[in-house]
Chains A and B, each alone.
Chain A
């Protein structure tokens, strides 16, 4: 959906962040930047141990373009039918100054009818959007008389690993009762009160990023961050029709996870320190934007930053096929999924695990228990299959 539209441009580096910013720029090189969006942040929080992803996202490297150039294009695309459906649905919800949305908000949030106003922040022009959003939210939080109720196309920011990411929630609703609510418009259907759990979970993770960003903003402005509700309004089509239905979704859990993962995320400075000075992920695009960097050279540079591949990456990260290929070459147990990896507790490679099972390899300190289990499992499999 268009809410994931990318925002070009970033603020000028300041003071001590200068050297980090400088190195990140060098990492990206001449390739145009592609900053985080909420979905990327949510995915990043899902795999916080992946330095490769943290560095590439931090530097604003276009992972999709990099993956294509490496010969491992990402396995996901969106069908034009799905895009059309999503756009039609969002337009329907937002038509006539969000008339349909207001109707549902009155039902879901009990928004008093008389106080409704609608601000489309997009009208002020892209470069001013964040400042304008800030001013509007400040006014609303202070309780100014002409504060609006609905903010369409607001632009929020969030510091990710010492770096500013720009975020576009679908709509921010403000209730006079003193609470802001994030509104998230999604085109997956709610059928008889039930929706695809994976889709709802993804929407909740994404909305949590917006809640966190808005809370951070209020805090910066000296207001109570808890003015932003942890209940987000999820708007989806109902049953098999296009009629929207609003549901409140509690994202406290997602918020807690996100906050913890973001603080845990190794700061980029430390990751950068582990990289050689001259390394760059530059694609060296020519005048037409086509990458000219030798593929092997780029692959080598990327391998310098450690990835933590998991099969879940296949649905969230553009670079997944490249990292999977790398994991295959290394014979890493990660290939088989987190469950297998956890079960093998500390045995990282396929050869090592099989060596322990066959008894051709002696267990290292701390591996005695898993080695015993593997040997037993191997004995049982042999017994049953011969």
Chain B
């Protein structure tokens, strides 16, 4: 969190309503998202209790484990969940485009991809655990499960992993996305409560948001009072309808909040780079589907050394790109960098579009632009700059001081003897320059998994499915 966000939180507290911290939406929002609100049994790692899910707000599906201690009922529940989620996921695979690649075979990329939206980070973690507890199951051998269950497990694992990938929109947590766009007048800890955060954004803080009787927790944990007074007696009674009805009361309010959150996010115009990130999501999704279709084994319990290093490098690059893209897409995010002196904005007061450097054949066009700014510039002469107004352009800082910054354009003004029309900003234009650039970073050289050095545990063992996986208890 930056001082800018802190100030927004202070303002929110003062005004009694959340304040924007973004002017555009930084996540892609699907036209048909799958809203998924799971509940688990308290005290258990990943024992499902119920889920409300669906793509239409008027028609939520309720899936309930009416006797949470019964293992068969849990797997029946997982199969039911697969019955809803798999058709949704697989429905995106038919419509594809061919993507040409340099130095590699072209591949098919889905035109659109599924999007799972859960209430909070807890929902993401639970989805991941649910994936972990089902992906190693088998339809044959001891304790057989329906064929769809391990497939579901692998998809849920995939979505859970994607949720941790910076900028990915395949699986979103509502509180996280809302928090990225609005600052409430409460602490980040309290923002994890969906009802409370939404109240701050829409009507102002509400005491009711923290009352589990009015707004039950958005899961995956249920309210302890509900467990003791309603759920336990309902399970004891042995009447499945009673359990289902009890859980419906806990899920329905959150279901409404989820759609309210989606409406709020949909109300913001999409940021310019969101589509580019969604394209990567589509590619990743198609890759996963191909993987699955080719009969690859389920995702490992833990990454091997090489896979872990590669994943970390990918995520770091994604994080860096995501940060830069958001700043370029959104002046309010860029303002954070202006505050710290890594960016500045202002009005062009003077230009020299025909300035050149060097003589003879090495003579180069280097237009100069002088900008008047109120921002505290903390960039050294020679710093490489980019600008959201002309994304292909590269520039260099010449000098800064007394509220005036001189910038030299080095790239992206055409090949002619004079700058291409529009390439050099006009006097009076408002521009922003920053040292933040989304330069391509190569991936680190990593050995093949088979060549993992002994310092890193040697080559990982191949996964061989065995009966022990299927027997793993699910208490």
Contact = CB atoms under 8 A, between A and B. Distances in A.
A153 B474 CA distance: 30
Given A243-B473, A384-B335, A385-B332, A192 B132 contact: yes
B61 interface: no
A63 B347 CA distance: 59
B43 A83 contact: yes
A240 B46 contact: yes
A381 B68 CA distance: 50
A377 B132 contact: no
B188 A373 contact: no
Nearest to A77: B224
A240 B43 contact: no
Interface string B89-131: 0000000000000000000000000000000000000000100
A128 interface: no
Interface residues on B, range: 35 or more
Nearest to A243: B473
Interface string A234-260: 000101111100000000000000000
Given A81-B42, A240-B133, A337 B188 contact: yes
A336 B472 contact: no
A308 B283 CA distance: 50
A79 B224 contact: yes
B10 A353 contact: yes
Nearest to B45: A189
B187 A81 contact: no
Nearest to A193: B302
B232 A381 contact: no
B186 A240 contact: no
Nearest to B43: A82
A304 interface: no
A311 B339 contact: no
B32 to A, nearest CB: 32
A118 to B, nearest CB: 27
A85 interface: yes
Contacts of A377: 3-4, 7, 335, 339
Interface in B1-26: 1, 3-4, 6-11, 13-14, 20, 23
Nearest to A237: B45
B228 A80 contact: yes
Interface in B21-59: 23, 41-47
Interface in A329-346: 331, 333, 335-337, 339-340, 343-344
Contact of A374 (B7, B187, B210): B7
B21 to A, nearest CB: 9
A229 interface: no
A324 to B, nearest CB: 9
A306 interface: no
A354 interface: yes
B245 interface: no
A334 B274 CA distance: 35
A92 to B, nearest CB: 11
A351 to B, nearest CB: 8
B7 A191 contact: no
B228 A336 contact: no
A357 interface: yes
Interface string B163-187: 0000000000000000000000111
B432 to A, nearest CB: 11
Contacts of A374: 3, 7
B267 interface: no
B38 to A, nearest CB: 15
A242 B187 contact: no
Contacts of B14: 350-351, 354
Interface string B331-358: 1100100110000000000000000000
Contacts of B227: 79-81
A110 interface: no
B189 to A, nearest CB: 4
A312 interface: yes
A176 to B, nearest CB: 34
B124 to A, nearest CB: 14
Nearest to A241: B473
User: Most chain-B Cβ atoms within 10 A of its Cβ — which of A80, A81, A192, A242?
Assistant: A81
B475 interface: yes
Contacts of B456: none
A354 B12 CA distance: 11
A124 to B, nearest CB: 32
A311 B11 CA distance: 18
A376 B339 contact: yes
A243 B68 CA distance: 19
6 contacts: A79-B43, A79-B228, A80-B232, A354-B11, A374-B3, A380-B339
Given A350-B14, A384-B331, 18 more contacts: A79-B42, A79-B221, A79-B224, A82-B43, A188-B45, A237-B45, A239-B472, A240-B46, A240-B47, A240-B473, A311-B188, A311-B190, A343-B1, A353-B10, A354-B14, A374-B3, A384-B332, A384-B335
Closest 10 CB pairs of A and B: A82-B43, A241-B473, A79-B42, A189-B45, A311-B187, A85-B43, A337-B187, A77-B224, A79-B227, A380-B335
Interface of A: 75-86, 187-189, 191-193, 237, 239-243, 311-312, 314-315, 331, 333, 335-337, 339-340, 343-344, 350-351, 353-354, 357, 373-374, 376-381, 383-385
